[in-house]
Amino acid sequence: MSTILVTGATRGIGREVARELVNQGHNVYFGTRDLAVDTELVDDIEGIAHWLAIDTSNSDSIRAAAERFGELESQLDILINNAGIYPDQGLNILDISRERMVDTLQTNTFGPLEVVQEFLPYLTKATQPRIINVSSGLGQITGLSADNPSYCLSKLALNGITLMLAEKLKDQVAVNSVCPGWVKTDMGGENAPRSIPEGAAGILWLALEADPTLTGGFYRDGKPIEW
Ligand SMILES: NC(=O)c1ccc[n+]([C@@H]2O[C@H](COP(=O)([O-])OP(=O)(O)OC[C@H]3O[C@@H](n4cnc5c(N)ncnc54)[C@H](OP(=O)(O)O)[C@@H]3O)[C@@H](O)[C@H]2O)c1
Among 3-12, 37-46, 70-79, the minimum mean pLDDT is found in: 37-46
Q: Are strands 223-224 and 217-220 parallel, antiparallel or unpaired?
A: antiparallel
> Which residue's CA lies nearest to atom 20 of ligand 1?
187
So what's the pLDDT on residue 48? 76
pLDDT tens-digit readout, 41-73: 655 666 678 889 999 999 999 999 999 999 999
151 an active-site residue? yes
Span 77-91, average pLDDT: 96
Mean pLDDT of 110-115: 98
Residue of 33 and 129 predicted with greater confidence: 129
What are the residues whose beta carbons fall under 8 Å from the beta carbon of 123, sequence distance 6 or more? 75, 76, 77, 79, 116, 129, 131, 173
CA 120–ligand 1 middle distance (angstroms): 22
What distance in angstroms lies between residue 185's CA and the mean position of ligand 1's atoms? 9
pLDDT of residue 60: 96
H-assigned helices in 24-109? 39-45, 59-72, 98-105
Above 60 in pLDDT, residue 107? yes
Under 8 Å between Cβ of 142 and 191: no
Q: Is the pLDDT of residue 204 over 60?
A: yes
Q: Could you tell me the distance, in angstroms and rounded to a whole number, from the CA of residue 179 to the centre of ligand 1?
A: 13
Q: What pLDDT, on a 0 to 100 scale, did the predictor assign at position 42?
A: 58
Is the pLDDT reported for residue 128 higher than 60?
Answer: yes
Question: Between 89 and 162, where is the model more confident?
Answer: 162
Mean pLDDT over residues 204-212, rounded? 97
Ligand 1: atom nearest CA of 54 is 33
Q: How far apart are CA 50 and CA 53, in angstroms?
A: 10
- Contact residues for 152 (Cβ-Cβ < 8 A; gap 6+): 138, 139, 143, 144, 145
Q: Which residues pair with 177 in a beta bridge?
A: 133, 218
